[in-house]
Amino acid sequence: MNQRSDGKGTDWASFGFALAILFMIALVGLAAAVVGMAVKSGERANAERHPNIVVGFEFLSAANRGAKYYFQTPGVFLFSQYPQEAEDIAERTGSTEADVEAKLR
């Protein structure tokens, strides 16, 4: 029972400390990701509470360009954007693409 290594054993303290630090870094990273997702979900829910549809940046840019030149070429900038944006929104919300596309138009 009284056997000791007399200093010849492996010191695991530094390895355990480094492992604990790595675990804490991973935990903080996961917590930051969860908070980011919660904020995005909250913003989307707040915007959709009113009769608004949350659209992507590319669609919004195309809509702004289309509004600028609407009287010259009505709707040209958005024809290619409607189906993709409707698919993205339908995937997020669980509704059908046709309903979303009708709301977008």
Per the document, the length of the chain is: 105
**Mean pLDDT, residues 59-65 taken together:** 72
Percentage of the chain lying above the pLDDT 90 cut:
24
pLDDT, the chain, mean: 76
- pLDDT band at residue 69 under the 50/70/90 scheme: low
Neighbours of 59 (CB within 10 A): 20
Q: Which residues, 6+ apart, have CB-to-CB distance to 39 below 8 Å?
A: none
Asked whether the beta carbons of 104 and 86 are under 8 A apart, the reply is: yes
pLDDT at position 46 is 78
Is the pLDDT confidence value at 47 over 80? Answer: no
- Band (pLDDT 50/70/90 cuts) for residue 6 is low
Beta-carbon-side half-sphere exposure of residue 16 (alpha carbons within 13 Å):
4
d(CA 53, CA 58): 14
Q: Is the pTM of this model over 0.85?
A: no
pLDDT at 59 over 70: yes
The pLDDT of residue 84 is above 60: yes
Burial class (CB in 10 A: 0-12, 13-18, 19+), 86: buried
